[in-house]
Structure 1
Amino acid sequence: MGVMSKQLYDKLFGPRAPCKQLHWAFDESCMKFIWTFYSNTFIGCVKFFLPLSILQICLNYKHLDGPLLLEFLKTFLSRTSSYILGCYLMFSWNCTLSNIFGGVTFYELALMPGFLAGFFSLIGTRRARILDVLLEFIMVLETIIRRAQYHDILKVTDIRLTTIFALNNALLIYLLTHRNKEENLPLTFWFYVPSSVQNKMLPCSHKTHCLKYCLEGMIKQPQLLVQLLRSSKNLNLGYFLCTYVGINRALTCYLCGRRNFSPVYSSLIAGLLSGLSFRIEPNLQLFCLGITTSLQLIYAKLEQKFTRLRKIPTLLPLQLICNGVLSHERLLAPDICPKYYMNLGSMLTCGQIDKLCETMFQKSLR
């Protein structure tokens, strides 16, 4: 659709634009619009989250009991209610400000209500909140890179992404390999976690033969590999995953077992060279995931060293900031907003958010 800057917003709608001028144009009143949006969001959330909850129950049917079923139900209700209340707050906020001050500014339209809507995440469980923050933080990083690229501040190329990914991967593998027993691994979306090196004198951290260990990393589930090969879209991603894990394990075994390298240097070298396999399938989301995981592990080590950091609440502020930024980009910069967040917003609102964007950007084309 495009990207709306503050200058363009002020030119089209003025410093403070009435809510009806912005996106209520296809409805008679604010209350009617909010009710339409609210009801569609409720339907969209139920359609999206209910099948996920049923799938979780089916996958855990062997261990299903009262407390686990209650946890699934609580997660479903908390996610659904937080999204519905967040959407309601966003648009009722705009109408309220419009009636009091005569309109809403560029940053009051989506950034501020999105920020405040993040408080509704407190309804959910801590585990669900951590996973939501991780996902949102990854998308915010992607948004920052896309916006820098859009304004010609940063030129993103596959070679640059691969180089930075490889350097970050060296640090990431080092942090994952040299974690202590008492150091709990934080919740993460990273797809490969090597065994931690507890005994510095052992050449390898695995019990099986090195060749078998490397092959297991490349082809752990042959039936899954066959399914990946059927789809051309997944082929490059499958090549990347196999190459990444295979190179990592092979180099670690070779350097530690044959060359008697220090585990520190072997993990850094293995991480650096395996990270070059990113060139097979350069992916901005995967790049941001690697950066986020490294930041997670660094902060976990800082928390272990400086216990006072554990008393600082970081989860809620991160959630508020990320939710505000993504809400702002979703409504005012659809071309920059991550595709996952775009599609998620369309599904959860049954396409109502797309109508809002079209209404606003159609005026900019006149």
Structure 2
Amino acid sequence: MLGSALFFYLMRLDRDNVKRTPLFWFFTPPRVSKEEGKPVEGIHGRSEACPHKGPCMNYIAKGAAQLFSVGLLMTCVRTILPRILTPKKALKSLKFSHLKLGIFFGGYIGLYRLIVCLLCRSTGKDSALHALPAGFVAGAAFRASPSLPIALAPVTSSLQIIISWAYQRGMIPAQWPLVELLYCVCQGILFHARVMHEDVCPRYIVNLMHTVTTNKADEIQSAFIKKIVAFGN
């Protein structure tokens, strides 16, 4: 939740940056609205300070519905495609739990937009700081579909924005390959988790390591376990 709050805040600040940081994320918040107006009670209609067009409720519901549909579609494709040759079995394999990703996506965006709109309406102006409480509350939707890669994405993307700003402002010399070094460190941590802590390592990392190392990662882990067992005996 804290990572989500920081990430949304940095994204809103970065929207006004001439050289925006390219990010891979399923939602980009709008620019901070320069318009100001009188505080508005309730949630009906639209405040002049809100960073969107049309009524707030429509804006919130539309975003939540769109992202819910995306999450649901992703889950259905992942579930049905492996069983595409047996359509009946594929449809029967769908469960209520397959709504979780859609609930996360929809809830994440819906809660974020709701809090931002409420803050704009209550203060009469928009601010990048509104993203902090909005992002924090939106992070609660993560409980619907817990996932380590998704949880880490806001943190790594926040670091990406900060490093990009540091390069642009000359705080980091341009000749320093900091991004490449950070990538190497992250890969090292992932490989360490694959060998030493497979029980908590994301499954896709295990499969990826197996593929790119042509089974060497499995051999390293097996040899490591044998040495540990031999040492214990």
C-alpha distance in 2 between matches for 1:232 and 1:218: 18
CA deviations over 1:149-171 (Å, ceiling 9, x no partner): xxxxxxxxxxxxxxxx2x23222
**CA displacement at 1:346 relative to structure 2:** 1.8
C-alpha distance in 1 between matches for 2:194 and 2:71: 36
User: Structure 1 regions of 5+ residues with no counterpart?
Assistant: 1-164
Q: Which residue of 2 aligns with 1:287?
A: 151
**What amino acid sits opposite 2:49 in the alignment?**
P
Q: Which residue of 1 aligns with 2:40?
A: none
Q: Which residue of 1 aligns with 2:170?
A: 307
| 8 Å Cα contact 1:171/1:268 also seen in 2 | yes
Q: Which residue of 2 aligns with 1:213?
A: 59
C-alpha distance in 1 between matches for 2:151 and 2:26: 13
Q: How does 1:18-57 map to 2 (within 5 A)?
A: none
CA RMSD of aligned residues (A): 3.0
C-alpha distance in 2 between matches for 1:180 and 1:222: 25
**CA displacement at 1:206 relative to structure 2:** 1.6
Q: Percent identity?
A: 28
- With structure 1 as the length reference, what TM-score do the two structures score? 0.47
| 8 Å Cα contact 1:169/1:290 also seen in 2 | yes
Q: Which residue of 2 aligns with 1:324?
A: 188
Q: Which residue of 2 aligns with 1:252?
A: 116
Q: Which residue of 1 aligns with 2:89?
A: none
**What amino acid sits opposite 2:51 in the alignment?**
S
**What amino acid sits opposite 1:175 in the alignment?**
L
User: Structure 2 regions of 5+ residues with no counterpart?
Assistant: 37-47, 77-93
| 8 Å Cα contact 2:66/2:106 also seen in 1 | no
CA deviations over 1:229-263 (Å, ceiling 9, x no partner): 74545422221111110111122122213542552
Whether 1:190 and 2:53 are equivalent positions in the alignment is no
Q: 1:208 to 1:303 in 2, by over 3 A?
A: farther
CA deviations over 1:340-361 (Å, ceiling 9, x no partner): 2211122334545424433442
Whether 1:170 and 2:1 are equivalent positions in the alignment is no
Whether 1:278 and 2:142 are equivalent positions in the alignment is yes
Q: 1:347 to 1:216 in 2, by over 3 A?
A: same
C-alpha distance in 1 between matches for 2:151 and 2:17: 29
CA deviations over 1:124-159 (Å, ceiling 9, x no partner): xxxxxxxxxxxxxxxxxxxxxxxxxxxxxxxxxxxx
**What amino acid sits opposite 1:207 in the alignment?**
K
CA deviations over 1:188-241 (Å, ceiling 9, x no partner): 333221012152535122223322211221112776466447454542222111
| 8 Å Cα contact 1:170/1:272 also seen in 2 | yes
Q: Which residue of 2 aligns with 1:81?
A: none
C-alpha distance in 1 between matches for 2:6 and 2:68: 30
Whether 1:199 and 2:199 are equivalent positions in the alignment is no
User: Secondary structure at the residue paired with 1:188?
Assistant: coil
Aligned length: 200
User: Secondary structure at the residue paired with 1:220?
Assistant: helix
C-alpha distance in 1 between matches for 2:173 and 2:53: 36
More helix by share: 1
| 8 Å Cα contact 1:173/1:268 also seen in 2 | yes
**What amino acid sits opposite 1:272 in the alignment?**
F
Q: Which residue of 1 aligns with 2:79?
A: none
Which of 139, 155, 161 is the matching residue for 1:297? 161
Q: 1:200 to 1:293 in 2, by over 3 A?
A: farther
Which structure is higher in RCO with an 8 Å CA cutoff and minimum separation 6?
A: 1
| 8 Å Cα contact 2:101/2:145 also seen in 1 | yes
Q: Which residue of 2 aligns with 1:347?
A: 211
**What amino acid sits opposite 2:60 in the alignment?**
C
**CA displacement at 1:270 relative to structure 2:** 1.5
User: Secondary structure at the residue paired with 1:204?
Assistant: coil
Q: 1:210 to 1:234 in 2, by over 3 A?
A: same
C-alpha distance in 1 between matches for 2:161 and 2:101: 25
